[in-house]
Amino acid sequence: MKKTKNRNLAITYISLVVLAIVWLFPIFWIVMTSFRGEGGMAVEYIIPKTFTLKNYSNLFANPSFPFGKWFMNTLIVAIFTCIISTFIIVAMSYALSRIRFKYRNRFLKLALVLNMFPGFMSMIAIYYILKAMGLDQTLTALVIVYSAGAGLGFYIAKGFFDTIPYSLDESAMIDGATRADIFFKITLPLSKPIIVYTALMSFMGPWMDFIFAKVILGDQVEKYTVAIGLFTMVTQDKINTWFTTFTAGCVIIAVPITLLFIFMQKYYVEGITSGGVKG
C-alpha cells in the first residue's frame, strides 16, 4: 500500500513538472527572443547565438514606434480604470449582497443575461456615442468604457460578500454601528482577497484589450496603448525586422502586472488566512 502511495505521489509530481514546463516554455522563449541578436522572426534554435540589449533600446529610440508614449498611455488608463472599476464593483456587490430591495432578483437575472453577450457587440454603438460627446480618439474614452463595463462584473465579488455572515452586521447594528461603520470596519477588512482580485483584473484589462482601444483611438498613433502599438510591429511588412523588438516589448509590459501582483499578494493571502473577525 505504501509503495502504491509513493508511486501515485511520484506520478503526481512528474505530471506537475511536465505541466509547469509546458506553461513556462512560451515565457522562456519570449524572454530569450527578446535578447536575440540575430534578426528575423523564425529561427531553428531557442537560445540566441548572440545576446544583445539593442531590442530593448530600439523600443524607446525609434520615433516610428513611440513605445514609451504607448506604455505611459496604457499605465494611465490602467490606473484610473483600476480605481474606478474597483470602487464600482465593490459598491455594487456589497449593496446587492446586503440590501434587500424591490426587483433585486429581477435585476440580478437581467445582469446575468447581459453578461452572456460579448462586449464587442456594442462597440459600434459605443463609438458613435463617444463621438457625439466629442470623446472619440481620447484616453478618457477608454477609461469610461473600461470602467462602465465593470458594472456587470459584480457577480464574483457578490458571491464573496454572501459568504460573510450577515449576523456580523446585525451584531454591529445592535452595538450602534451605522451601515458605513459596518462596511468600512468589518466588511472591507474581511474582503481583502476579492478587492485585490478585482483590482488586478481591472488593471490587467487595458493592457490586454485590443478591439475597443483600436476602434476608439483610430489612427491617433501617439495615443495608442501597448496592445495596438505592439501589433503594428508584427504586420506582414514589418514582422521580420521588428519581431525581436516586439518580444522585448512583451517582456516590458509584463513587468507592471508582475510587480502589482507581488505587492498585493500579501494582502490576498492575509485576507484568506485571517478568516475571522478581530474584536
Sign of CA dihedral 100, 103, 106, 107: negative
pLDDT band at residue 275, thresholds of 50, 70 and 90?
very low
Segment 42-97, tens digit of pLDDT: 788 888 888 989 989 888 888 888 888 999 999 999 999 999 999 998 888 888 88
> Residue 73's pLDDT is what?
93
pLDDT of residue 101: 79
Residue 117 has pLDDT above 90, yes or no: no
Banded pLDDT at 268 (limits 50, 70, 90): low
pLDDT at 274: 46
| Residue-level pLDDT at 59 | 87
The pTM of this model reads 0.82
* C-alpha span between 249 and 265 (Å, rounded): 25
Q: How far apart are CA 255 and CA 204, in angstroms?
A: 12
Cβ atoms < 10 Å from Cβ of 57 = 12
How far apart are the C-alpha atoms of 212 and 168, rounded to whole Å?
42
Give the confidence band of 134 by pLDDT, cuts at 50, 70, 90: confident
Q: Tell me if 187 sits within 8 A of 163, measured CB to CB.
A: no
51 vs 46: CA distance, rounded Å: 12
Over residues 131-151, mean pLDDT: 87
Mean pLDDT for 131-137 is: 87
Q: Over the stretch 247-257, which tens digit does the pLDDT of each residue have?
A: 999 999 988 88
Which homologous superfamily is 56-274 in? MetI-like (1.10.3720.10)
Taking only the tens place, the pLDDT of each residue in 152-166 is: 778 888 888 888 888
pLDDT of the residue at 70: 92
